[in-house]
Amino acid sequence: MLNRRCMLTYDETCDPRLLAVIDQVPAELWGAKLALQLLDHRLMAASSPYAAYIAQLPVGVAGVPIFFSREAINALEYPPVTEQVKKRCSIAAGDALLISYGPLPNDFLLMDYGFLQPDNPHDRVQLRFDLDLIQVGVELARVYGPDQKPLELQPSRWQSRVLAQLGLQGPGANLEVTLGGSQLVDPRLVAATRVLLARSEAELQLG
């Protein structure tokens, strides 16, 4: 039987808050799920049962992937990135570089080209409106309600009805919200925040 110290994985023994985040990652991105667990154990430092293994991992590689050495690229062992680097490194010396960056968000621009565009209108992050995940964030941030007690997001009947009107709850709900771009914050996310923090429907209407 393989010693547990040799198996970096995630199961019911993990922090429930971490598992809640891991469960939001699509099953096919198993590498990203393990990466979240690895980050958690990095934070544990010497107290992690995988400390000896983690200490052998590279902390980072200078530059962006397109400029990594062949050894660093091979160490990634992540085909989606390595194949893109191979395609983009097929330019011969003296060739004209006629590349259109396109309507890309800043995370793509940074990863592929090594720069950020200030006030990038295409720089958006798509999130899923999930009350359980929001509750985890509230607990980690130690947010308190009007009664000075830790805030618990348990929508009342009227709050659930308004969230359904916003399309964020119930049958046919569209739970995808965005941050960034020209609007900065998805209006539905702002409205939902007001609904969840209001102590009554009358207070919400007055706001």
- Which residues are CB-contacts of 58 (< 8 A; sequence separation ≥ 6)? 75
pLDDT at 173 over 80: yes
Beta-bridged to residue 179, according to DSSP, are 125, 185
Assigned domain for 59 exists = no
Domain end (from 79, 113, 147): 113
Residue 33 lies in a domain: yes
Do the Cβ atoms of 164 and 156 come closer than 8 Å?
no
> Looking at the structure, do residues 50 and 71 belong to the same domain, yes or no?
no
Alpha carbons 28 and 51: distance in angstroms, whole number:
27
Residue 192: Cβ-neighbour burial (10 angstroms; 0-12, 13-18, 19+) = buried
Instruction: Tell me whether residue 36 is in a domain.
Output: yes
Q: pLDDT (tens digit, 9 = 90+) per residue, 108-146?
A: 888 888 888 888 888 877 788 888 877 777 777 777 766
CA distance 91 to 183: 38
pTM over 0.95, yes/no: no
Count of domains for the chain: 3
Residues whose CB falls within 8 Å of the CB of residue 186, separated by 6 or more in sequence, listed in order = 177, 178, 179
72 located within any domain? yes
Q: Are 63 and 115 in contact (CB under 8 A)?
A: no
Instruction: Tell me the C-alpha distance between 10 and 18, whole Å.
Output: 9
Model pLDDT for residues 90-112, shown as the tens digit of each residue: 666 777 777 678 788 888 888 88
Nearest-angstrom CA–CA distance, 71 and 27 = 29
d(CA 43, CA 176): 30
Q: Give me the pLDDT at residue 146, please.
A: 66
Residue 136 lies in a domain: yes
pLDDT tens per residue across span 28-44: 888 888 888 888 888 88
Q: Is the pLDDT of residue 5 over 70?
A: no
Find the domain containing 109 and state its range.
Answer: 65-113
- Is the same domain home to 28 and 100? no
Please check whether residues 32 and 74 belong to one and the same domain.
no
Domain annotation covers residue 60? no
Q: Is residue 79 part of a domain?
A: yes
d(CA 101, CA 91): 16
Q: Are 77 and 141 in a shared domain?
A: no
Q: Which amino acid is at 65?
A: P
Domain membership flag for residue 186: yes
